[in-house]
Copies of this chain bind each other. A is one copy, B any other.
């Protein structure tokens, strides 16, 4: 039989409320040291563990966050999670994590499930979300913050990276190396980070008096597989290029594989820049020049904002835009 607070009370010869008072150790409780000690001792003796579920029901708060991501084996998201978990554990919160596999229906179900589980708030790093769920969360003032995702909607809190700036960094680097025929493997235009990177690409070209050539752009899933296929699509177009700006590192890695297969050498035959600076970026050969996103920080800050919203410490919308950084490695070289 499981030990409850009542058992402790009985054994220590006090009332349940007294036991409750010592375990919640609010500072203003006035309890005789002797009683407290007796209670502490019997808690120890009985190996009593407070039932957090019961407590949650009573105080209407679970000290739990929900986090929804497409895929935890993608190191982008595991870094995000780790950052979030760090802050959460500092504040005494746990995180329930769930993968959507980029499946909208699954995401919806998960969000609902999390809410039914009474998680105090949601960290959303998923690419899509239905208007219905969003509306339901807002109507019910259900705390939630978007991570790495920006809705064109004034009322949502989010933490993102400056995709436009990041792209500029990457493009200016290529231009400085003398490249003018720069291809772009973009992500799906429905994904806002991908879209912004694509916009940034066009903007950078223009700013450097290079003209935008649609033939130099291939849309791809933001995965290795996608990058691999995209490269073949690109070469099939038989258009000249001396550099490629990939919308993320995964695409870049897949592209490297394809290029190697085709007998093309990076950076000799063309330069390559990615985005994200995943751990894999310095393992590839050549190592990948890329734009570093402060992932750990992004998760950490998102959780911080979320918990503040939960606690009502901030009742305004938080919009945080982090600064990316260019990391130059071996995959880019100046044109000769």
Taking Cβ atoms with an 8 Å cutoff, the residues of A that contact B are 2, 47, 49-54, 56-57, 62, 64, 71-73, 75, 78-79, 81-82, 85, 89, 94-99, 112-113, 115-118, 136, 139-140, 253, 279-280, 283-285
Contact = CB atoms under 8 A, between A and B. Distances in A.
A55 to B, nearest CB: 9
Contacts of A73: 75, 78-79, 82, 279
Residue among A117, A136, A139 with the highest chain B CB neighbour number at 10 A: A117
A53 B63 CA distance: 12
Contact of A54 (B52, B57, B79, B283): B57
B98 A94 contact: yes
B96 A96 contact: yes
B284 A117 contact: no
Contact of A53 (B56, B75, B253): B56
A81 B72 contact: yes
B98 A49 contact: no
Contacts of A96: 64, 94-97
A116 B52 contact: yes
B53 A57 contact: yes
A51 B118 contact: yes
Contacts of A94: 96, 98, 113, 117
A209 B299 CA distance: 53
Given A95-B96, A283-B280, A118 B52 contact: yes
Contacts of A64: 96, 117
A122 to B, nearest CB: 13
Contacts of A98: 85, 89, 94-95
Given A89-B98, A283-B283, 14 more contacts: A47-B136, A49-B116, A64-B96, A72-B78, A72-B85, A73-B75, A73-B79, A75-B78, A81-B97, A85-B97, A94-B98, A95-B98, A283-B284, A284-B285
